[in-house]
Structure 1
Amino acid sequence: MIDHLDHLVLTTANEDACVRFYVETMGMTLEVFGAGRKAFRFGQQKINLHVKGHEFEPKAEVPTPGSLDLCFIASVPLDAVVARLGEKGVPIVEGPVMRTGATSRIRSVYVRDPDLNLIEISELAP
């Protein structure tokens, strides 16, 4: 019945810091749509952005900054990801480590975004 994920919603307590992280550090594209709504585009997916206390309806029952645990497959080798994180001053919480992804083994590093969501950035393992 389900084919793929179209988008998800991230709730932030600090819109400016969140935009900087996902655009400047993660390399996503900022999209503004509708009545000033914002989203981060990457590949064929996007993350819609809600600001805590100013969410768009309908919304999750308890939208909470810092409650997400997301895994992204990088478009560049993981060593390049680690270098970029270092350049941006983003500390690695764990990794590189081997994990089990949705379709194969992955090699991952973990960081936290400004809302303390856990962000896993991975490359497919050979």
Structure 2
Amino acid sequence: MSLIDHLDHLVLTCVDLEATRHFYTEVMQMQPETFGNGRLAFRFGNQKINLHQRGAEFEPKAHLPVPGALDLCFIASVPLDDVIAHLRRCQWPIVEGPVARTGATQKIRSVYVRDPDLNLIEISELVD
């Protein structure tokens, strides 16, 4: 038995709030959420990404909160071919893929994009 059950949220540090909002709400189709004293988050499933703007981070924060340092993998709720078509409609460049990878629980098929801060974003589908 593990001490940890699941991830609740993670915190992303960005440079440009509006560019980041556009990417995560329009390209990634997450739901924006305002909480606390006007803080912005992006909700998907039972998780969310909380946002910090560089130089105006909330306390406590990571020791070295920097934009562009994350490499995140998301499992899509639709087939990967639909994700690829959506990215093309949004004119958002695919860095690599589709490629076969190993996920946390099974094999996955993935494409990679970069968000406005150049974080590496992997979007995947589970493979039988």
Deviation of 1:10 (Å): 0.3
Instruction: Tell me the equivalent position of 2:96.
Output: 94
Of 41, 63, 72, the residue aligned with 1:61 is 63
Q: What is the TM-score of this pair, normalised by structure 1?
A: 0.99
Residue 121 (structure 1) aligns with: 123
Deviations 1:52-108 (A, max 9, x none): 000000000110000000000000000000000001111100000000000000000
Q: In the aligned structure 2, how far is the partner of 1:50 from the partner of 1:62?
A: 12
1:16-44 per-position Cα deviation (integer Å, ceiling 9, x unaligned): 00000000010100000110001000000
Within 5 Å, which residues of 2 pair with 1:1-126? 1-126=3-128
For 1:85, the aligned partner's letter is L
Q: Distance in 2 between matches of 1:50 and 1:60?
A: 11
Secondary structure, in 3 states, of the residue corresponding to 1:18? helix
Partner amino acid, structure 2, of 1:65: P
Count of matched residue positions in the alignment of Structure 1 and Structure 2: 126
Consecutive aligned runs of 4 or more in structure 1 exceeding 2 Å deviation: none
- TM-score, normalisation: structure 2: 0.98
Q: What stretches of structure 1 of length at least 5 have no aligned partner?
A: none
Q: CA RMSD in A?
A: 0.4
User: Aligned letter for 2:123?
Assistant: I
SS across alignment from 2:25 = helix
Identity of matched residues, %: 70
